[in-house]
Amino acid sequence: MKISKRSIFRAFLAAGLCWAGMAMADDHFSTATDPTWKAECGSCHVAYPPQLLPAGSWRALMSGLDKHFGSDASLDPQTAAGIAAFLEENAGRDRSSSRTPALRITETRWFVHEHDEVPDRAWKNPQVKSAANCTACHIDGDKGNFSEHNIRIPK
């Protein structure tokens, strides 16, 4: 590995993520998975890894599924409760100082830092459309693999 400012930053980031209890083995997020979650929360977009938001964020998201980013993602109460429990058990640590929980991974400081080298034109590419469209670039994101070795930015 080249020793650059970025690689030092990355080492710190990796340490920080481990410290936060985000199990990262071989550049994979821990593969905590649940079939109901995967089916229900992976139908409109990739099932976002639970580690990427703290429990409070998942709780807030799960209590407003009828008004979910302009969509109705409502579930019957039992299914919703099961998914909420899975997400909260596998949630990341809350590293924000804000009292209102973030509802978007893409607005967390972690996300912005990790993607600071992605050029503007990539975000604006019609094949990407939204930063939340992880699988536009993370080609194995649907398998929970967000490794830097499995990225292809659409041209």
Measure the CA–CA gap between 84 and 51, rounded to whole angstroms.
Answer: 13
DSSP one-letter code for 95: -
Residues 6+ apart with CB under 8 A from 46: 134, 135, 138, 141, 142
* Total site size for ligand HEC, rule CB under 6 A: 38
Task: Tell me whether residue 55 or residue 137 sits nearer to ligand HEC (CB atom).
Answer: 137
Cβ proximity to ligand HEC, 63 vs 99, nearer residue? 63
Of the candidate residues 30, 33, 96, 133, the single one contacting ligand HEC (CB under 6 A): 133
> Which residues 16-75 are close enough to bind ligand HEC by CB under 6 A?
27, 40-41, 43-45, 48, 52, 61, 65, 68-69, 71, 73
CA distance between the termini of the chain:
27
Can you spell out the DSSP letters for 31-84? Answer: ----HHHHHHHSSSS----GGGSBHHHHHHHHT-GGGBTTB-----HHHHHHHH
Judge residue 37's burial from the number of C-beta atoms within 10 Å of its C-beta, 0-12 exposed, 13-18 middle, 19 or more buried: buried
Least distance to ligand HEC, CB of residue 151, Å: 5
Among 51, 54, 136, 144, binds ligand HEC (CB under 6 A): 136
Q: 23 or 123, CB closer to ligand HEC? A: 123
Inter-residue contact 122 to 153 (CB < 8 Å): yes
Residue 100 carries which side chain, given as an amino acid letter? T
Binding-site member from 56, 106, 143, 145 for ligand HEC (CB under 6 A): 106
8 lines the binding site for ligand HEC (CB under 6 A) = no
Using CB under 6 A, list all residues that contact ligand HEC. Answer: 27, 40-41, 43-45, 48, 52, 61, 65, 68-69, 71, 73, 83, 104-106, 114-115, 117-118, 122-123, 128, 130-134, 136-138, 146-148, 151, 153
